[in-house]
Structure 1
């Protein structure tokens, strides 16, 4: 939810948007003293991409956000592109000046957007007041330009090696061919960095983290994720990543990009929480453009015997439930709609169906349609489809906002994120595709 929703017709009710201006990649996501910090790419001067600055919002519950003054702004090194933030608990950087632990932000200074152009470098800024203000390091840049296409530093503490780790996207040219790589670095003080490894085939906005397999804390794997939500699972020795899986997709929609996870969530919580940019949305005549996805939790589970990421909305969605509109199991007969007469902007739907007597199920909202067809095993929405396998049963969670839909199917193993322009009707429907449909469980909530 936004701290400033106003009466803007196309402003989402429970997805973060900037009060004004263009928004894209989430940046610097970090937790400190009860506050989730969400930094983000922001054009404070218009609703098109440009003038890249770090905007900032904070939340105590992941669903109610307060936007703060911009955190890091354009300077003589360049525009402020994507990056990450950490809490330097042991003050390895020496930046701490008071009682608060220092938050250190890493970002790409895009000098190519200046006139005249300058190198593209990696820089840091730090905060001694819980992220309210940032001071740029006088020794910037901390990593000089490797190639013009080097950006988006991901940084975290690696306890086994007692080192800070950075993963950086670097675009290389080899034999006249463009090669997309992630390069690995380590450091003891956040200021001096040494390259230790590299892997090809990943483009932009690296994310890298460790998760237990199926909840087993004694059996953990590392996940390397790129901007397009492609990821590999493997091992990491503090210097190099070794993949042990084929590449998979975290989200199969067109509106989930450059996702990042929070650093420094306490072990007592233990969750790996991710937010992506829901790119591609249209918001006619609004003072803002673009929105964030709803926060979701990542775990490592299995689908068809293969280890994969499982993604589900965070449990804090329950804080947004305004009204329970439907809670029942029933036989859905052809030509009927149990949601008839329900009007609204934002809903959470949890549905379990058995399609053996029908050709599938259709869920309508804001002039859009979500369709599951068991005969060919496809799930389709907003003109986009994904194969979920031929099965007569559907277990799905759907988050519907004014301008977006997020779908979590097969217990979170399949997800899709899409944006759209609503038709203004506010109608929602549930109908079988020919024949009767058994609905074993249906929960519909009004949220916002």
Structure 2
């Protein structure tokens, strides 16, 4: 080719566009040691890049390849720096992945020019909780083109989130950091579906009508790749309106690809049919749950409200979920009852009552309203009411009704005093109390007294004492708190006077923040039922769209004992409707055998009724999980949960409920109750009784397979 032809070819070829220039890798931290020129000081960064998560650290995700900079070496109290060799800035941006602590100047990455920091960034975590996920951050360095620079990674912070994670530093003409994106939707369908990727970066989503933010929540959006599951937001309240959705997304992610409008719940035909879904314990169809809230019976329905994150498997975005049941066993979800007033003003725990006498004036005696009290984390204790059977709620226009350092209001009507009572957790003078307020109308509240020694989530109710009278009284008041320990005493509507200072306990294990139903119906000619449900704290279902469950509902009774009245918990009779047949599987009666006895096989969820005498200790092998009775210690132990158990005249009776994530044990007609996290061995479907000695007699054993409460 002649020189003229070469020149003409060059003139005809367009210049290389900036966006077409290849990225320049600064460091990917894939080696066993830091690359040439990278210099660590101190101990925080170790001798080389980490291979992901370090000992005692939460799971680290979001980095590329196998290695990353992780200054958690030695824990959060280690410190140091890591400095790069000199680089020349010749692209518009420097992109890198970052995670860890949010401590400016202490856990950070700096760009140094002439020894001075001209750019800096920190991790996202500034308080307890958080995630070890790395996300993209971008520095615009177009004004520094051609300059020499050094990258410095710093960990000079001790204590919580005292570390920094960095990976894949690259010069580029394309920006990778998330940017605000929005989409305007004409709302015609009932739901907006969002893809969730568990462990992905948390994104803040906002819904706006005009300029007003009407919803705001955090969600781990699946911006790239397959979703773990789909979550939904009910937008029926905005039908016929224009709704703007805003969220910070990676530059290459399209918001339109992440929202699906529909009149149906995501995968509605598969919800409650999942492989690991409990068959008879309440779980939310999607998302996290914890404390039961607002338990109340009205118009033939048992209402279960609960703390709920509709957008993820972990705690956050606290709403009130809502489900109803005709029989305490088969539940139908009614969606969200309470939304947060705004972000950071979340709907924490509380209770609900039926205002039968229309003291509030919000209903009528013919059509009484449901009234709830809850903790608004930004305002205080708030009141709301419903005229449509709990499906929608309107806030009292003078909220908050109580403002203090505390939470979790429990409402009751005190019949003798003829006023409402609010028992609420209170923090005063560096002490923990239950405080009592009274009101004639659920609107205006007056402080009356407090009792020390109780933590959150109080419950307060009166029960008749079964058997002989106690000190001339036929009933006692029960004051309960989240840990399941209770006092008995007298409550005149203003002050609780305990019978004894020492608390009693009958629940053990995965049981927290229990509440009893207000307005429970009577059974026959007996007193109103006092039905209790607790949060089975820590019963998890890895890899699913849902997390945590409630315990089985139990009916509480007060019985006379040598040590005074004590509570007993009996699983509600309605649970028997889940038995697949009226007759148990191969029942056993008055059998003494050597070695292990298989009580049943081919089991999924089931119920066991067992009575055994001449007790010398035994083990129940429940699909691979061991429940052990130690006759010397007089204890039952299973998966780290231990409860004291005393046989009656040498006989021990157990009622055991086994589901896909838990085991619940009730001894001697409810003297002791245990809630245990236990995921069954899928390859082991047996239930076996293994005695310590050969003279242990099985007086009776009945096993019932249990059907799904979800209808299929």
TM-score by length of 1: 0.91
Residues matched between the structures, number: 428
Could you tell me which of 553, 564, 571 is aligned with 1:306?
Answer: 564
Q: Secondary structure at the match of 1:108?
A: strand
Could you tell me which of 422, 426, 431 is aligned with 2:685?
Answer: 426
* Per-residue deviation, 1:374: 1.7
Q: Is 1:257–2:509 an aligned residue pair?
A: no
Deviations along 1:277-327, one digit per CA (max 9) or x if unpaired, are 000112111000000000001001134443210111011111111132133
Could you tell me which of 30, 33, 44 is aligned with 2:299?
Answer: 33
Q: Is 1:271–2:554 an aligned residue pair?
A: no
Distance 1:47 1:377 in 2: 38
- Equivalent position of 1:96 in the other structure: 363
* Per-residue deviation, 1:216: 6.9
Deviations along 1:53-81, one digit per CA (max 9) or x if unpaired, are 00000000001000111101111481000
> Contact conserved, 1:36 with 1:60, CA < 8 A, in 2?
yes
Matches within 5 A, 1:282-293: 282-293=540-551
Q: Secondary structure at the match of 1:322?
A: coil
Distance 2:274 2:397 in 1: 42
Deviations along 1:160-180, one digit per CA (max 9) or x if unpaired, are 0100011000122x3xxx311
Q: Is 1:247–2:513 an aligned residue pair?
A: no
Q: Which has the larger radius of gyration?
A: 2
* Per-residue deviation, 1:6: 3.6
- Equivalent position of 2:216 in the other structure: none
- Equivalent position of 1:56 in the other structure: 322
> Contact conserved, 1:27 with 1:260, CA < 8 A, in 2?
yes
Deviations along 1:174-227, one digit per CA (max 9) or x if unpaired, are 3xxx31100001100101000111000000000000001116796100000000
Moved more, 412-421 or 192-201: 412-421
Q: Is 1:203–2:455 an aligned residue pair?
A: yes
- Equivalent position of 2:237 in the other structure: none
Distance 1:382 1:123 in 2: 40
Which ranges in structure 1 are unaligned for 5 or more consecutive residues? 112-118
Could you tell me which of 37, 44, 49 is aligned with 2:310?
Answer: 44
Could you tell me which of 295, 304, 317 is aligned with 2:553?
Answer: 295
Structure-2 change in CA distance of 1:394 and 1:97 (3 Å) = closer
* Per-residue deviation, 1:338: 3.2
Q: Which has the higher contact order (CA 8 A, sep 6+)?
A: 1
Q: Secondary structure at the match of 2:574?
A: helix
Distance 2:431 2:586 in 1: 51
Distance 2:586 2:391 in 1: 43
Which ranges in structure 2 are unaligned for 5 or more consecutive residues? 1-268, 708-712
Moved more, 366-375 or 84-93: 366-375
Q: Is 1:180–2:432 an aligned residue pair?
A: yes
> Contact conserved, 2:477 with 2:490, CA < 8 A, in 1?
yes
Moved more, 292-301 or 242-251: 242-251
> Contact conserved, 1:43 with 1:49, CA < 8 A, in 2?
yes
Structure-2 change in CA distance of 1:308 and 1:8 (3 Å) = same
Q: Is 1:376–2:633 an aligned residue pair?
A: yes
Distance 2:667 2:327 in 1: 25
Distance 1:100 1:432 in 2: 58
Structure-2 change in CA distance of 1:300 and 1:50 (3 Å) = same
Q: Secondary structure at the match of 1:412?
A: coil
- Equivalent position of 1:115 in the other structure: none
Q: Secondary structure at the match of 1:316?
A: helix
- Equivalent position of 1:114 in the other structure: none
Q: Secondary structure at the match of 2:487?
A: strand
Q: Is 1:339–2:599 an aligned residue pair?
A: yes
Q: Is 1:122–2:381 an aligned residue pair?
A: yes
- Equivalent position of 2:414 in the other structure: 158
Structure-2 change in CA distance of 1:32 and 1:215 (3 Å) = farther
Q: Is 1:365–2:622 an aligned residue pair?
A: yes
* Per-residue deviation, 1:97: 7.1
> Contact conserved, 1:100 with 1:130, CA < 8 A, in 2?
no
Distance 2:481 2:667 in 1: 22
> Contact conserved, 2:618 with 2:691, CA < 8 A, in 1?
yes
Distance 1:94 1:54 in 2: 24
Distance 1:21 1:366 in 2: 27
> Contact conserved, 1:353 with 1:395, CA < 8 A, in 2?
yes
Could you tell me which of 186, 191, 203 is aligned with 2:443?
Answer: 191
Distance 2:619 2:564 in 1: 29
> Contact conserved, 2:467 with 2:560, CA < 8 A, in 1?
no
> Contact conserved, 1:262 with 1:273, CA < 8 A, in 2?
yes
Moved more, 328-337 or 66-75: 328-337
- Equivalent position of 1:83 in the other structure: 350
Could you tell me which of 465, 475, 498 is aligned with 1:213?
Answer: 465
Structure-2 change in CA distance of 1:284 and 1:74 (3 Å) = same
Structure-2 change in CA distance of 1:82 and 1:327 (3 Å) = same
- Equivalent position of 1:351 in the other structure: 610
Q: Secondary structure at the match of 1:156?
A: strand
> Contact conserved, 2:618 with 2:689, CA < 8 A, in 1?
yes
